[in-house]
Amino acid sequence: MKKLLMASAALAMLGGAVPAAAKHHAKDGAEMVDTDLQAILDHERRADDQARDVYRHPAETLKFFGVKPNHTVAEYAPGGGWYTKILAPYLAEKGQYIGVNFNPAPLPFPEDRKAAMAKWGEEFPGKVAEMTGLPAEKFKGLTTGDVTDEMAGTVDFVFIPRMMHNLMRWNAADNEIRALRKLLKDDGTIGIVQHRAKDDAPFSYANGGRGYVRTATIVNIMETYGFELVKQSEINANPADTADYPKGVWTLPPRFAEGDVDKEKYATIGESDRMTLLFKKLP
């Protein structure tokens, strides 16, 4: 009963009604009991996002990573806000949601774009408020270039969804992962979901330029910056993805880089095969 009341409160905060079915079943059939999270997943504000749940498994993924509503969570490079609309309301009352974007200064972008990106942190809370209907004051935004000594050791968990390939192709992993490590508490963790190349894929294909990266490459990168792999999951696996397209991961939905060429085939395959890895910060 307490859980249902909490779910009702969460939905009232979001401006909706309690869904008829407040339970969610994981990919392996195990029942999920976090009704607060499920209420957010079922909310009408996610109407356009819910079709992707079958590929992204948000409830199962966040449970695997151990995310709790009282945690301070930093989502790296939130982009269009797909996970923001889940994490921000989930953490709004007891925890803290922080959007962290990359430091634009060293990136291979035009100077006008870098200047616009430098304002990202101050503008982001307002964008989260628009997405969720919650006050902007509940959220924080910053770039990795804004991380100060006072912020060090304040974050429980950093989430990096489908972004490691960009850090590789932009040659930005050193700056970015060091900054994210600084934010984490001594026992903090980083969760990575990433388009997965085959283990035997040549590095010329799996170097990030086509979106796919080998699992061993990600593990090696994270170990280099003082992290240890705790566990991994097949929650976001897609065996139908051959991960060998000339136009890379963007061949698949939702991008369909080939246009109408074989679109039905790629739609049947679905979104990419993804690794799901949890790392802990080492002393």
- Tens digit of each residue's pLDDT (9 = 90 or more) over 96-121: 999 999 998 888 889 998 888 889 99
Taking the CA atoms of the chain, what radius of gyration do you get in angstroms? 19
- Do residues 25 and 77 both lie within one domain? no
Residues in the chain: 283
Q: How far is CA 131 from the centre of its chain?
A: 16
Cα-based distances in Å from 74 to 60, 88, 144, 155, 183 = 18, 10, 11, 7, 9
What's the DSSP call for residue 250?
G
For strand 274-281 and strand 227-233, is the pairing parallel, antiparallel, or unpaired?
antiparallel
Tens of pLDDT, residues 169-228: 999 999 999 999 999 999 999 999 999 999 999 999 999 999 999 999 999 999 999 999
- Do residues 32 and 62 both lie within one domain? no
Cα-based distances in Å from 221 to 25, 203, 218, 249 = 33, 14, 5, 21
Counted domains in the chain: 2
* Domain ranges, residue 90: 51-281
- Do residues 95 and 214 both lie within one domain? yes
Average of per-residue pLDDT values in the chain: 90
Give the residue from 31, 47, 63 where a domain finishes.
Answer: 47
Q: Is the pLDDT of residue 1 over 80?
A: no
Tens of pLDDT, residues 223-254: 999 999 999 999 999 999 999 999 999 999 99
Tens of pLDDT, residues 49-70: 999 999 999 999 999 999 999 9
Joined together, the tokens standing for residue 91 give 């953490």
- Do residues 249 and 220 both lie within one domain? yes
- Do residues 34 and 63 both lie within one domain? no
Distance between CA atoms of 229 and 262, rounded to whole angstroms? 38
Confidence of residue 79 (pLDDT cuts 50, 70, 90): confident
The proportion of the chain whose per-residue pLDDT surpasses 90, expressed as a percent, equals: 82
- Do residues 253 and 115 both lie within one domain? yes
